[in-house]
Chains A and B, each alone.
Chain A
Amino acid sequence: MQTGTKISLAGHGVLMGWAVFGGWFSAAPEAVQVQEVSVISAADFERLSQRPAAPVIAPEPAALSEPEQPVEVPQLNTTAETQVETSQPETVQTPAVEVPPETVPTPDPAPEVAPQPPEILDAPESSSIIAALPEPEQLRPAERVAPEPVAAPEPEVAIDDIVQPEVSTDVGAEAEQEAQEETAEEAASDRIVTEANEDEEAELEPAPVVSAPSTSLRPQVRPRRPQAPEQPTEVAEPLDDAESEAQDQASAIEDALAAAIAGGGEVEAPEPSGPPLTSGEKDALRVAVSKCWNVGSLSSDALRTTVEVSVTLSQDGKPDPGSIRMISSTGGSNSAAKQAYEAARRAIIRCGARGFQLPAEKYSQWREVVMTFNPEKMRIK
């Protein structure tokens, strides 16, 4: 017998068995639920289905009637918070809608001002009313607490169309940096330190060692020229060779150690240090000297002579007359240069008699000044 025939016989057998014995396993029939109904008349149905009439609401909330009597604000002063706001006379005319409800144990503060419409089952004919109610402020432009309008809000930041370069434009920022050790501890803490327990915290924890610089580094300046060593005033007595050699070695080691501790070589305090003068500060000095630079009595030859004059200024900005000297001159004879220099010297001394106005904190920058007096423009005036 072929397999297909077997499958067919089995299938038909199952089918016939289900047809013969299937009824034996059927569930009990469901109980029929019967509900009693009452018959009403058409008039009653019409009466029951009639909706309640919606209240008439003015389309403009601002036209709502104001309370005839001022609200008895003192009665609302149940909390300190409300006292501040409501005790102001200006707020008397203001509906109490701004009073927080939790602090005002009064009935609905706005029944007379803005009666709540009854529950609306269907959408009203005028939907604008519903939209306007949540924003009463916009509907009361005249009466506000502040008598003066507040400042206009800042305009929103507009996104620039021009693409700016990224902030971190340093070349080093794009290059891969070498791993570095942490130079400063994290600032975050697991405890909140207040003024009350600041001292306790200070006692508990040692002060963190901050290795980050507090100020930016100043650029190095040219060190002073090494001065000739002074002649020894005392001549050491000659020692034995061995003792002398040992002493030399010891002193050499000490010197090396001192040099290493000092950071390599003695560098005297730089002379011009600190930030340089700004162009404005330089201009002020230039203008101050120009006011006294009188070339009216100079010869035409001297008017073709440019002189460089150096001067030392004291801390109060006054020039030291003895320090004024001509460094160089161009364009004229020696006689002309002398006259040009004397006119320049007069200008420095005269206008510096009360001290040039220069920033005192930058004194090292302007202690020595070299002024170039170029009369080219004055020659054609």
Chain B
Amino acid sequence: MTTENDIYNFAYLDEQTKKMIRRAIFKAIAIPGYQVPFASREMPMPYGWGTGGIQVTATILCPSDRLKVIDQGSDDTTNAVSIRRFFAKTANVETTTKTEQATIIQTRHRIPETALREDQTLVYQVPIPEPLRFLEPREVETRKMHALEEYGLMHVKLYEDISRHGAIATTYAYPTQVNGRYMTDPSPIPKFDNPKMDQMPALQLFGAGREKRIYAIPPYTDVRSLDFEDHPFEVQQWESACALCGDDQSFLDEVILDDRGERMFVCSDSHHCQTRQEQGFHGSQMPENHAGGLQEKHDG
């Protein structure tokens, strides 16, 4: 019986490629935070759409897995939807938007608000894996700096922030040191998510397709965000809570409502927000027809 899927190997990539990528992943796990070069393949979508993350996901995906894909925390953006469909089609795996039900979560720019478990794997899409690139354009030099743990330059970036803005203004791709050794770019997640990486029970894998690098943070690994003694690391805070679910602990996106500049803040993690709404939490702008019934059950 030949189906359309049999034209391709399971999860698109051929077995040799998967072997090669698995070797890179094993090495990456063995040396937390170290960028392992790999022979990145052409994927049926352009660089910048998450080809690194897709290759990692394709390699670790098994038929029994349940996949969730998020982009900026949301399950329903074009990027998330097309990647989810890609794997539904090429691997025929179950997909979900529920964080707690997923075994593999591929993400761009966020870590879900729901705490991850040991039996889950988080796959990041990474545009520029080299945290030192900002100040040192030469690859040969940055590799040496990693090898010799010469990381003073990373603090130059933070120094520059403080001198310009009075505080560390880097809000995303905030540099981290993994396992007390390698300076590692957390991908462009908001620094709000950095603390979640530290001692996370789930395995974290990072794939950069264009730059051909894979790196990893194994479960329960120390991830420290850089800072100065007199300017300690802090996560951003909002004055308002989510306008839909009322959460004042989650990462919020600003949404412009009309041409007059009306705006509201909503959870960036769409599944988290929806779950809370289903549990009866509500924010200031929750549509009334939704609010009505649920409010009575769960208010307070």
Partners in one complex: no
Q: Which residues of A contact B (CB under 8 A)?
A: none
Q: Which residues of B contact A (CB under 8 A)?
A: none
